[in-house]
Amino acid sequence: MSSAIKEVPVHLPKSFDRPDEPWHHYLTIDVIWYVLGYTLFHPFVSWILVLCLRAQYTRYEAPEMRIALAWALLMTTIGIFGLINDKIAFGSPREVDLSEEVIVITGGVEGLGGLLAETYGMRNANIAVLDTKKVDEDEAEEKGVVYYQCDVSNAKQVEAAAAKIVEDLGAPTILINNAGLVHTTSILDSTAEDVEQTFRVNTLAHFNTLRTFLPHMLKEGRGTIITVSSVLGHLGAANLSAYTASKAALLALHHSLRAELAQNPDAKEIKTILVTLGQMSTKMFAGVKTPSNFLAPVVTPAEVGKDIIRLIERGESGEVALPLYSRYIQILGVLPIGVQLLVRKLSGIDGAIGKAGLAKRDGSEKK
């Protein structure tokens, strides 16, 4: 009995393609927080400390035992609270079988979308990519991905592509709205065409795909919708007004979508995932320097993709916010205005595009 093994071309990074960084470059607050989450802040490890003290015949009245017990109880309480909170917020997970799912990814030729498409393609999942870029048929076959040349900002093109997807692969059940565009110009230097194009690709395209693919999910009685936004949607930034405004609109769209699905009895098994990213190492913001590699590291598509795939395949709703500060950036909005301005100045957020030499008329990049 034999089974066919799919050969997948792999291009490993060459050592000279990566800068020779010192070891401390890779030590970030995200790494520290991750390690603490699986050690000192983990309920299981906390109780192991208690057991170790008891193994040494430490009395319960001893100060070190009381501290260890209090810490273990605190971590357990926080853990249980987190589980209850997620249950209330996102409900029970749905069952996901990749062989029965049809995944649609917008902007899936390069960057984060490309990584997700190729990852699922290697696993023989049913993948449909909508992108304006054309992909050679041989390359598509190698990757195990079906590409449809489509401008997602055009509702008619999305509808036509959807009809082909249903005919070729089946009813779409997972939608990853990833396509994005940025114009790095000031408000005064921007044109009406620049702003309109940014909103059509970054925001209106989501309405096009939702109106087209959500009915299929409702009919199937299951689905997952991923909205890729940006931390800049909370902050805004100089020379990125159209981009940040379009990403802020996605935050409101995501919450509105969740509210409408909650009112629809046919949408109980439709999950939603909000992705809020800081700076990611893609072509879109190539050349932009992070103000602090320790506090605000540049995340890779692999890191983001791993978290998105985990939630999709667990059948869960949720949020993916990377790096760490992205999870708590909304706290900045409740601080006094003077403190907010000081934080912005220290972070260099409003000067990043100018320092990278990207603040120019008609300077645009696509994902």
10 Å CB burial of residue 272 (0-12, 13-18, 19+) is buried
Identify the pLDDT of residue 19.
60
Computed over every residue of the chain, the mean pLDDT equals 91
Categorize the per-residue pLDDT at 43 as very low, low, confident or very high, splitting at 50, 70 and 90. very high
Closest C-alpha to 179, from 94, 276, 127, 112: 112
Domain contains 54? yes
Do both 39 and 186 map to the same domain? no
Do both 115 and 79 map to the same domain? no
Do both 150 and 64 map to the same domain? no
Domain contains 334? yes
Domain contains 20? no
Phi, psi of 365 (to 5 degrees): -140, 145
Do both 121 and 230 map to the same domain? yes
Asked if residues 226 and 212 have their Cβ atoms less than 8 Å apart, the reply is no
**Mean pLDDT, to the nearest integer, of 188-199?**
95
Tally of domains within the chain = 2
**DSSP annotation string for 162-212:** HHHHHHHT-S--EEEE---EEE---TTT--HHHHHHHHIIIIIHHHHHHHH
Domain contains 5? no
Categorize the per-residue pLDDT at 361 as very low, low, confident or very high, splitting at 50, 70 and 90. low
**Mean pLDDT, to the nearest integer, of 223-246?**
96
Last residue of a domain, one of 71, 90, 109: 90
Q: What is the pLDDT of residues 272-289, one digit of tens each?
A: 999 999 999 888 888 888
Residue 4 has pLDDT above 80, yes or no: no
Identify the pLDDT of residue 287.
80
**Could you tell me the CA-to-CA distances from 101 to 95, 120, 125 in Å, in that order?**
11, 11, 7
> Cis before residue 301, ω within 30 degrees of 0?
no
**Mean pLDDT, to the nearest integer, of 168-185?**
95
Do both 294 and 353 map to the same domain? yes
Identify the pLDDT of residue 9.
60
Residue 17 has pLDDT above 70, yes or no: no
Identify the pLDDT of residue 363.
47
The residue among 355 and 221 whose pLDDT is bigger is: 221
Domain contains 136? yes
Calpha distance 92→167 (Å, rounded): 31
Calpha distance 274→246 (Å, rounded): 15
Residue 3 has pLDDT above 80, yes or no: no
Identify the pLDDT of residue 1.
46
- Three-class DSSP category at 296: coil
Categorize the per-residue pLDDT at 11 as very low, low, confident or very high, splitting at 50, 70 and 90. low
Domain housing 356: 98-366
Identify the pLDDT of residue 16.
43
CATH number at residue 175: 3.40.50.720
Domain contains 12? no
**Mean pLDDT, to the nearest integer, of 333-351?**
92
Calpha distance 138→298 (Å, rounded): 33
Identify the pLDDT of residue 337.
94
Calpha distance 73→311 (Å, rounded): 28
Residue 223 has pLDDT above 50, yes or no: yes
% of the chain surpassing 90 pLDDT: 83
Domain contains 197? yes
Do both 131 and 279 map to the same domain? yes
Domain contains 202? yes
Q: What is the pLDDT of residues 106-127, one digit of tens each?
A: 999 999 999 999 999 999 999 9
Last residue of a domain, one of 61, 90, 119: 90
Categorize the per-residue pLDDT at 2 as very low, low, confident or very high, splitting at 50, 70 and 90. very low
Identify the pLDDT of residue 189.
93
